[in-house]
């Protein structure tokens, strides 16, 4: 313990010792049949002692009215009169005996063990709100009984509320009380009496007790009476006369702003705060009209508190139910939409796969026709003889030898190419036999090209056994003629998977001609500068390959897909694992970009790696996240696609039926957004309907609660304007009570 604490304790002990030394050691007079035990307290009109009933051994309290000059003995008779009125009321301290003839006179009342409410507040501080309300209700009930019997207390305060062994209140000290029929003024205690009571001409009013009850409840919650402050007390006590003191108190209460601190206390709800405020209203007309009204207000508050969980459940319950239904409904909605989208995607994929197979079969059939025609040409003996005669001609053979010689000088080869292309004798304007052979081969190629039964053919050409082009035919001018150039590095000549792209091509190495008909890999035409594929076949004479005949194709012309749109289209690609793998041969975008001459813009190179399809993804038939490579060229083809691929094959009859895989892949792709759009529209419709349903349910709930709240507001209005309930208490009349002038002793 610190020195300061020690000094404080010693100071407190000295104060208590001084107080005890000033207390009387004997009651003013002996009371027959009672043995005094201890001094209990003193008030404006006398002393109170604790004594023991000698007959029963029961403790009692004896209040002595001391002799003083000008004592008004009617005070004793008045208080006894009121206590007799309230005999057997458990909320009021009970009267046992009166000593009228004693000097001084006294009366004996029951002893209440736990002292006054004021002692409790000073020793322990403010009460918890539930405890304060419970005690207050009992005091209000006691005062309701008193008012019903016509008794107005006129000096209610914590010091006049005694607490029994069960901490229940008993109302005490009716020294200032009045009957409702009396007109004599009665002064209460500062800050517990209303402004209109602080007058020597005031007529007793039940609303005085209403104000005092509100001040008591405020004090129980806050630990001090309303409006009380050191400054106010000093100002009031500075008055010279009682009238001035009362005037200052009355003016102070009327001018003071309404108290609000109690509303900040935890546990003080709006209804309880309103009860306190209405009790403490400055104007009597604004207060509860009676103590019974306070009890009724307390009852309504309690009923509201009891109903509050049900009301909360009535509000929160439907909201929680609505929220639960909304959460699970939304989850079910999302899952249903997801399942519907997946089903739509699966169905679309199945449709795409079916369409891809059908279109691929049609493309295969078209290619098969070209294979059949080319085989017939290659196996035609007359055609083979024409090739043999041309390549075996002495003049032509000389040129072809130079053109096929990798060591020949470039200028010599250029001259040989020029001479081979002309192959004519200008003498006398007559054509030689050599020129006739050359022109006959060229005429043959042009006849094949003009065959209307084979639409989509880009060119016909034939090479010798070393890859030098003997003749070629194109549907339109090809610019520089490829006749005389050597193409043995091309896959359509040697039958391999890739062209030989080494510099100079013809001088790099030897390539033997292919030995069977096949579809070449894509290549860029030296004549038209466009990508093509060729069907090529060996031309044999006496079982010796003497040349290669080929027809080039623009495969896009074979793809007939009437549904072609930016959302649903068919695409033809090269699916072979070579350097050209993934090249897009046919795409709806190509038709949009082709110029007047049927060619793509020069800046678009379909061989560009960025414009090729992903072959790895195309190996899987279930393509739900396919990316169209031409989305790089046009925004309308960007995004996710659902695609299905089918190989382009056709049957071959070589003793038995065998499907020949061309290496091409037909991809039917459909935009994912377009596939799930109907589901999205349905989802939007369902969502709007759900929102409308939630809104309707909410609106109905709000309307129902609107009527409930209106009814509750009516109850609240009644709470503010009607009566309410209260509690009782009891105590010894203290010196704070202002005595009437004629009552001074």
With CA atoms as reference, report the closest residue to 86 among 49, 141, 132, 34: 141
For 230-258, the pLDDT digits (tens) are: 888 888 888 888 899 999 999 999 999 99
In the three-class reduction of DSSP (H, G, I as helix; E, B as strand; rest coil), residue 573 is classed as strand
117-304+725-740 CATH pick, 3.30.365.10, 3.40.1160.10, 3.30.70.360, 1.10.510.10? 1.10.510.10
| CATH (residue range 31-110) | 3.30.200.20
* Cβ 728 vs Cβ 179: under 8 Å: no
Divide the 745 residues of the chain into consecutive groups of 10 and give the mean pLDDT of each group.
Answer: 39 47 79 91 80 91 71 64 73 86 86 90 94 95 91 92 91 85 88 93 93 96 93 87 91 93 93 95 94 93 82 77 85 89 89 90 87 89 88 84 80 83 47 61 78 75 90 74 86 84 52 88 70 89 92 78 85 82 85 72 76 76 76 86 88 71 88 88 87 85 78 63 41 48 46
Per-domain boundaries in the chain: 31-110, 117-304+725-740, 350-677
In the three-class reduction of DSSP (H, G, I as helix; E, B as strand; rest coil), residue 286 is classed as helix
What are the distances in angstroms from CA 108 to CA 51, 74, 237, 606?
A: 9, 17, 34, 121
536: left (phi over 0), alpha (psi -120 to 50) or beta: beta
From the list 89, 118, 138, 155, the catalytic residue is 155
In the three-class reduction of DSSP (H, G, I as helix; E, B as strand; rest coil), residue 49 is classed as strand
Give the per-residue pLDDT at 386: 87
* Cβ 411 vs Cβ 449: under 8 Å: no
495: left (phi over 0), alpha (psi -120 to 50) or beta: left
What count of other Cβ atoms lies within 10 Å of the Cβ of residue 644? 25
pTM score, whole prediction:
0.55
User: What separation, in Å, do the N-terminal and C-terminal C-alpha atoms of the chain show?
Assistant: 48
C-alpha torsion 45→291→159→169, nearest 10: 120
Task: Give me the CATH topology for the region 350-677.
Answer: Beta-Lactamase (3.30.450)
Give the per-residue pLDDT at 182: 85
For helices 394-403 and 410-422, what crossing angle results, to 10°?
140
Task: Write out the two tokens for 459.
Answer: 């060119």
* Residue 155 a catalytic site member: yes
* Cβ 573 vs Cβ 673: under 8 Å: no
Q: What's the CA gap between 144 and 138, in Å, rounded? A: 10
């Amino acid at each position: 313990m610190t020195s300061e604490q020690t000094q404080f304790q010693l100071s407190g002990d000295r104060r208590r010792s001084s107080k005890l030394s000033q207390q009387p050691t004997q009651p003013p007079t002996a009371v027959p049949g009672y043995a005094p035990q201890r001094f209990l307290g003193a008030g404006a009109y006398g002393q109170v002692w604790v004594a023991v009933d000698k007959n029963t051994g029961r403790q009692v309290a004896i209040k002595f009215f001391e002799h003083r000059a000008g004592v008004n003995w009617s005070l004793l008779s008045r208080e006894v009169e009121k206590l007799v009125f309230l005999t057997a009321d458990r909320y009021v301290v009970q009267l046992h005996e009166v000593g009228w003839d004693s000097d001084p006179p006294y009366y004996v009342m029951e002893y209440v063990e736990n002292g006054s409410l004021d002692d409790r507040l000073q020793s322990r501080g403010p009460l918890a709100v539930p405890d304060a309300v419970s005690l207050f209700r009992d005091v209000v009930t006691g005062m309701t009984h008193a008012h019903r019997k016509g008794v107005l207390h006129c000096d209610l305060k914590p010091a006049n509320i005694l607490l029994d062994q069960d901490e229940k209140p008993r109302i005490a000290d009716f020294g200032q009380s009045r009957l409702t029929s009396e007109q004599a003024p009665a002064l209460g205690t500062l800050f517990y009496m209303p402004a209109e009571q602080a007058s020597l001409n005031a007529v007793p009013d039940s609303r005085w007790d209403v104000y005092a009850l509100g001040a008591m409840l405020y004090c129980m919650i806050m630990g001090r009476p309303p409006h009380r402050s050191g400054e106010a007390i000093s100002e009031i006590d500075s008055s010279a006369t009682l009238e001035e003191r009362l005037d200052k108190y009355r003016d102070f209460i009327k001018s003071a702003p309404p108290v609000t601190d109690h509303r900040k206390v935890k546990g003080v709800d709006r209804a309880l705060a309103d009860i306190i405020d209405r009790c403490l209203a400055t104007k009597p007309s604004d207060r509860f009209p009676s103590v019974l009204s306070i009890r009724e207000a307390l009852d309504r508050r309690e009923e509201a508190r009891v109903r509050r969980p049900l009301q909360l459940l009535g509000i929160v319950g439907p909201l929680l139910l609505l929220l639960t239904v909304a959460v699970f409904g939304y989850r079910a909605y999302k899952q249903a939409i997801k399942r519907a989208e997946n089903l739509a995607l699966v169905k679309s994929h199945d449709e795409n796969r079916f369409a891809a197979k059908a279109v691929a079969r049609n493309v295969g059939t078209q290619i098969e026709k070209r294979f059949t025609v080319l085989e017939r040409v290659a196996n035609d003996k007359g055609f083979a003889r024409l090739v043999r005669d041309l390549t075996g001609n002495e003049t032509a053979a000389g040129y072809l030898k130079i053109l096929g010689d990798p060591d020949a000088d470039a200028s010599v080869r250029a001259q040989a190419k020029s001479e081979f292309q002309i192959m004519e004798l200008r003498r006398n304007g007559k054509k030689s036999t050599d020129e006739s052979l050359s022109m006959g081969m060229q005429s043959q190629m042009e006849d094949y090209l003009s065959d209307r039964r084979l639409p989509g053919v880009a060119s016909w050409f034939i090479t010798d056994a070393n890859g030098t082009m003997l003749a070629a035919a194109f549907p339109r001018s090809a610019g520089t003629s490829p006749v005389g150039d050597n193409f043995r590095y091309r896959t359509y000549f040697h039958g391999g998977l890739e062209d030989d792209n080494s510099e100079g091509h013809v001088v790099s190495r030897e390539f033997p001609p292919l030995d069977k008909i096949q579809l070449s890999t894509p290549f860029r035409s030296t004549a038209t500068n466009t990508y093509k594929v060729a069907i090529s076949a060996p031309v044999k004479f006496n079982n010796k390959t003497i040349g290669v005949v080929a027809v080039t194709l623009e495969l896009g012309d074979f793809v007939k897909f009437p549904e072609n749109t930016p959302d649903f289209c068919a695409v033809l690609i090269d699916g072979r694992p070579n350097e050209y793998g993934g090249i897009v041969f046919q795409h709806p975008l190509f038709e949009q970009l082709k110029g007047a001459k049927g060619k793509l813009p020069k800046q678009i190179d379909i061989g560009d790696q960025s414009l090729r399809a992903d072959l790895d993804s195309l190996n899987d038939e279930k393509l739900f996240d396919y990316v169209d490579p031409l989305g790089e060229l046009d925004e309308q083809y960007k995004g996710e696609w659902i695609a299905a691929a089918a190989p382009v094959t056709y049957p071959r009859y070589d003793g038995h039926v065998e499907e020949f895989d061309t290496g091409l892949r037909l991809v039917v792709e459909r935009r994912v957004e377009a596939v799930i759009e109907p589901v999205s529209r349905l989802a939007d419709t369902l969502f709007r309907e759900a929102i409308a349903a939630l809104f309707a349910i909410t609106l109905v709930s709000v309307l129902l609660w609107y009527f409930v709240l209106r009814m509750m507001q009516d109850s609240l209005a009644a709470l503010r304007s009607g009566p309410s309930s209260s509690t009782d208490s009891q105590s010894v009349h203290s010196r704070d009570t202002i005595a009437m002038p004629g009552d001074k002793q």
